[in-house]
Structure 1
Amino acid sequence: MNHPVRAPGEGLRADRVSLGIGGRLVLDGVTLATRPGETVGLLGPNGSGKSTLLRLLAGVLAPSAGAVTLDGRPLDRVGRRAVARRVATVQQQAHTQTELTVREVVALGRIPHRRSWTPMTPADLEAVARALERTGLADRADQSWHTLSGGERQRAQIARALAQEPGELLLDEPTNHLDIQYQLDLMELVTGLPVTTVIALHDLNLAAMYCDRLVVLREGRAVAGGTPSEVLTSELIGEVYGVPAEVTPGADGPVVRFLRRGAVPPGRADRS
C-alpha cells in the first residue's frame, strides 16, 4: 500500500510512553508511530497493555513518562475538543439504556463539531448520512439500536466514529463475540476506510490478513514490530503466547495454525 509522504512527527504517535496503575507498570517505554492511511494491529495476550495504549493514544489517559503527540504537538496542548475532532475510538462493545435510533447513535459523532444544545447543521446531517451509507446502515437509520445484531451494532459504532470525520481511528477488539462472517465484514469495512487505523486484535490470522504493520506487546513492552510476515513467526508466538504454532505463507499474508500442547512445529522438528 502506498501512503502519502508526511513530515516527521506528523500524525498520531506514542514516543516511549510508560504508565503505572496501582503500583504496577502497565506500559513500559512503548513507541508507536502511524503512517497515513495504514492499518496498524496491536497484538499481545490479555494484560499486555493493548487497551491502555489505545487509551493513551485517544487522550483518555496521560502517560507518566514519554509523550503522545498529534502532528508533533502533545495531546494536552492540542486540546480535548480538537483531539476529539481528529481521533475517533470504537470500544469492544457499546451499551446504552437510552432508546436511540441508529441515526441518533451515529449523530453522536458530530458532538465535537457542534456547540452545546445547538441543532444539527446541513454539514452535520450530510456527515451522518455519509457514515450510514458507508457502513451499509442507511436502511436501518430509523430502527432502534437495541434491535440490531452484534455485528450491526459494531458497524453503527464505526459509523458514529466516521461521522466525526476523523483522521485517525482507534479500535479495541472490535471483532470479539462476532461470528466469522461479521468479523470478516467488519475488517473489510475498517481497512477500506480513508483513515489511519490502530486496532487491537486477538485473532492473529485476522491481523495477518488485514493489517499493514503489527506491534506486539508483552507485559507492557513492545517486543516486535513490522509487517505481518516479519512479525508472525512460530518462535514469536511461542514466546509471547506460550503456545506452539505453525506459520506458513498465504495469499493474504502468513497463516497461523495452532498445535496441540507438546507438539513441535515442523520447522523446529527439521532442525532437531
Structure 2
Amino acid sequence: MTVPEPPDASGLRADRVSRRAGGRLVVDGVTLAPRPAETVGLLGPNGSGKSTLLRLLAGVLRPSAGVVTLDGSPLTGLGRRTAARRVATVEQHAHTQTELTVRDVVALGRVPHRRPWSPVSPEDARAVAAALDRTGLTDRAGQSWHTLSGGERQRAQIARALAQEPRELLLDEPTNHLDVQHQLDLLELVVSLPVTTVVALHDLNLAAMYCDRVLVLREGRAVAGGAPGDVLTPDLIETVYGVRAEVTDGPGHPVIRFLRRSPRPVTPSG
C-alpha cells in the first residue's frame, strides 16, 4: 500500500524501503512519494515504524533494502550537507545544555549552507530573520531557549528547519506534550508553509484535519494510504489500533469518536 506517486521522480521518495534492526524488520517494503507542497501524515500505533521511516527519509538511517531518492538520485550518494540543504527535520524532543538564544537555535539551520568557520553572511541573516518572522518568534529572538514553553520550543525548532530553506520538511510527532491550543497552532503553521511535509502523528483527528493524505503503518508495513476520508474507517481503526470508533463527516474532514469498551459485569457479592 502506498501514497500515490507524483508523475515524475522529483522530490523526496521512498521506494519499497526496509530497515532491519535487532533481527527484525522495523520498516518492511514501504513506498512513499509525497506530491509537491502537500502534507502527508504517517499514522500507526507505537512501534509501527513511523520514526524509523522518517529517519530513512532524512538520510539518518540507510535502508536495508529499497532506496530513498531526492529528485531521482539516491539520498545516500548525495552527502549529508547536500541533503540538508533540501530536507529539514524536526525531532520529537530537542535538548541542549548550552545556553543559546532563540536566534542562536534558529541560526543552526544555516550550517548546511556555510563553510566551516565562515562568518554569517547577509543571506544567512535574512533567512534567520524570515524564519523567526514566519513562526512568530521575532520578539523572542534574544531570549534564552531554555525559558520557552513547550509550544514555543517546537516553533523554534520549526524556525531552525525553515532557516535551512528546505523544500521537504519531516516532523516526528511534533504535537506530543502540547496542550490542545498549541497543537492546533503548530499544525496550522506547518500546513501554511510552502514545503512538502511528512509528519508522524498519533492523533487521528489532527491527521484528518490537517493532512492531505495519510499513510497508515502496522508492524512496519503500510496497510492503507490515501485521503483521510477514504482511509480512516471504523474497520481500519479497529484492525490497526484495536479500538472501536465511529467516523462521521465533519467540515471538510472526517471526525473520529472512540467508543468505550463495554464495562465488565459486576458480580453480586455473597
TM bracket, shorter-chain basis = over 0.9
SS at match of 1:216: strand
**SS of equivalent residue, structure 1 residue 129:** helix
How far 1:7 moved relative to its partner? 5.2
Structure 2 Cα separation of the partners of residues 109 and 42 of structure 1: 24
Structure 2 Cα separation of the partners of residues 7 and 236 of structure 1: 28
Take 2:79 and 2:132, find their aligned partners in 1: how far apart are those partners? 28
Q: 2:151 maps to which residue?
A: 151
Structure 2 match to 1:210: 210
Q: CA deviation at 1:252?
A: 3.4
Question: Once the two structures are superposed, what CA deviation does each residue of 1:156-184 show, in whole Å capped at 9, x if it has no partner?
Answer: 00000000000000000000000000000
Partner of 2:225: 225
Mapped contact 1:37–1:195 kept (Cα < 8 A): yes
Quote the Cα distance in structure 1 between the aligned partners of 2:221 and 2:80: 27
> Where do residues 252-263 of structure 1 align in structure 2 (5 Å cutoff)?
252-262=252-262
- Determine if contact 1:244/1:259 at 8 Å carries over to the other structure: yes
Secondary structure of 2:85's aligned partner: helix
- Verify the 8 A CA contact 1:91 1:174 in the aligned structure 2: yes
Q: In the alignment, does 2:235 pair up with 1:235?
A: yes
Supply the distance in 2 between the matched residues of 1:86 and 1:156 (Cα, whole angstroms): 19
**AA partner of residue 254 (structure 2):** P
1:109 is aligned to 2:109 = yes
2:73 maps to 1:73: yes
Deviation of 1:262 (Å): 3.6
SS of 1:18's partner is strand
Structure 2 counterpart of 1:175, one-letter code: T
After TM superposition, give the deviation of residue 77 of structure 1 in Å.
1.7
Maintained 8 Å contact 1:13/1:68: yes
Q: What TM-score, normalized by structure 1, do the two folds share?
A: 0.94
1:65-102 C-alpha deviation (Å, 9 max, x unpaired): 00000001100122211101000000111000000000
Query: Hey, what's the Cα distance between the residues in 1 that align with 2:190 and 2:262?
Result: 37
Question: Within the alignment, does 1:140 sit opposite 2:140 as a pair?
Answer: yes
- SS of the aligned residue for 2:40 comes to strand
Q: Find the counterpart in structure 1 of residue 99 from structure 2.
A: 99
CA distance in 2, matches of 1:76, 1:226: 28
SS in 2 for 1:178: coil
- Structure 1 residues 235 and 262: alpha-carbon distance in aligned structure 2, compared to 1, 3 A threshold: farther
Q: Percent identity?
A: 78
Whole-angstrom CA distance in 2 between matches of 1:75 and 1:208: 30
Taking the aligned partners of 1:76 and 1:57, their CA distance within structure 2 comes to: 10
1:89 maps to: 89
Indicate the SS of the match to 1:67: strand
In structure 1, stretches of 5+ residues that fail to align are 1-5, 264-272
Structure 2 residue 12 is matched with structure 1 residue 12 = yes
Report Cα offsets for 1:122-146 as digits up to 9, x if no partner. 0000000000000000000000000
Alignment of 1:125-204 (within 5 A): 125-204=125-204
In the alignment, the residues of structure 1 paired with residue 93 and residue 149 of structure 2 have an alpha-carbon distance, to the nearest angstrom, of: 12
- The 8 Å contact of residues 208 and 252 in structure 1, kept in 2 or not, is answered as no
Residue 36 of structure 1: aligned partner: 36
Normalising by structure 2, we get a TM-score of 0.94
In 2, distance between residues paired with 1:72 and 1:65? 17
1:46 corresponding residue in structure 2: 46
Cα deviation digits, residues 191-240 of structure 1 (max 9, x gap)? 00000000000000000000000000000000000000000000000000
Residue identity opposite 2:112 in structure 1: P
Structure-1 separation of matches of 2:79 and 2:157 = 23
Structure 2 gap segments, 5+ residues each: 1-5, 264-270
